[in-house]
Amino acid sequence: MPKLKSHSGAKKRFLRTGTGKFKHQRSGRRHLLSPRSGEQKQFTRTKSFLNKTEEKIMARYLPYA
């Protein structure tokens, strides 16, 4: 069976943990941060994990991760 190609965009944005979950950075940190409260900005600093449905999709994007 031939090798599968990984999705280039997914490689840059997602990391598979040792338990098999996919970790990613939250969105909304680039611009228009002035009107947001400190709590909102602080929340976007934390990492997030994909849910089970999205994990199945990501497993196809990153077959060797």
- All domains of the chain, ordered by start, with CATH? 8-61 (4.10.410.60)
Question: Is the pTM of the predicted complex or chain greater than 0.75?
Answer: yes
Q: Report pLDDT digits (tens) over 6-56.
A: 999 999 999 999 999 999 999 999 999 999 999 999 999 999 999 999 999
Residue keyed to tokens 């090798």: 3
Give kind and range of the element (H or E) at residue 38: helix 38-45
Determine the pLDDT at residue 65: 83
Considering the chain, what percentage of its residues have pLDDT values greater than 70?
Answer: 100
How far apart are the C-alpha atoms of 49 and 14, rounded to whole Å?
A: 9
| Averaged confidence pLDDT in the chain | 95
Rounded Cα distance, 21 and 30, in Å: 25
Q: How far apart are CA 36 and CA 39, in angstroms?
A: 8
pLDDT tens digits for range 35-49: 999 999 999 999 999
